[in-house]
Amino acid sequence: MSGCCCQGFESMFGDKTARRDLKRYRKKGPSKPTRRLLDALGRQGVEGASVLDIGGGVGAIQHELLDSGAARATGVDASPAYLRAATSEAERRGHVERVTQHEGDFVALAGDIASADIVTLDRVICCYPDVNRLVGRSAERARHLYGLVHPRDAWWTRLAFRLMNLGLRLARKQFRAYVHPVDAVDRISRSAGLALQLRHNVGPIWQVVLYERSSQGMSA
C-alpha cells in the first residue's frame, strides 16, 4: 500500500487479533459503543439501505445492519486479516452475495468507492493521522446517514492515548493512535453538507456521533 497512512496496521491488526475479535463478536455480539451506534442508525431506519463501513474490522456493523434489513454492504479495511474475518462471518450468516470488501487505505481508494445511504467509521478516526482527508472523503460518500465512534476530546483521553503510543514506541511498533479535535470532525462533516443529529458519550473514552444529510442534499 504505497503512500498509505495506515502504517503498522498489519502488526497491530493481524490474524491473531482478528481471530480473537471474531470469536468475541460471535459470543457476545457488538461492543457497547458499536451497539449504541447501531441503535442510533436503527432509529433512523435502515430497511433497503446501502452501507459503506470503513475500517469495519470483523464486519459487526455490516452484519448487524444486513440482519436489520439493509440491502447491501461495502467494507473497506487496511487489514487483510480483518477482511478475512469479516468474509468468514459473512459466509456463516449467508451474507456473501450482499457484501463487497476492499483492501486498503480508504482515502487512497475513495475515488473508486461508491456513495452509500449509510457510511460508518467505528473507532477508525483514532487510527488515522489525517483527519481532514479521512472525514472529508468519507462524509461526502454519505447520502443519508454518517455514523462515527471516535474518542472524546478530553484530557484523560489524550493522556491515555499518549501512554498507549509510548508503549507502542517502546515496542518498536509503527502504529499510532490519535485523538483528533471534536470541533475539527464536526466542521469537516458540516462542510460536507451533514447536520449533527446525535452525540452520546459511551464511558470515559468513546463517543457516538450521528450526522444526517437533508433530503434536499441527497443524491439520487
**Residues 135-156 pLDDT 10s:** 999 999 999 999 999 999 999 9
Nearest to 144 by CA among 185, 116, 170, 164: 116
Question: What pTM was estimated for this model as a whole?
Answer: 0.92
Q: What is the pLDDT of residue 7?
A: 53
Residue 220 lies inside a defined structural domain of this protein: no
If phi > 0 it is left, if psi is from -120 to 50 it is alpha, else beta; for residue 20 that is alpha
CA distances from residue 1 to 9, 86, 138 in whole angstroms, order as listed: 11, 20, 19
> What is the domain extent for residue 68?
9-215
Q: Are strands 194-202 and 206-213 parallel, antiparallel or unpaired?
A: antiparallel
Q: Are 139 and 189 spatial neighbours (Cβ–Cβ below 8 Å)?
A: yes
Residue 4 lies inside a defined structural domain of this protein: no
**Residue 68 C-beta-side C-alpha neighbours within 13 Å:** 20
Which CATH number belongs to the domain containing residue 51 in this structure? 3.40.50.150
Residue 91 lies inside a defined structural domain of this protein: yes
Name residues of the chain where pLDDT drops below 50: 1-5, 216-220
How many domains does the chain fold into?
1
Q: Are strands 142-151 and 50-54 parallel, antiparallel or unpaired?
A: unpaired
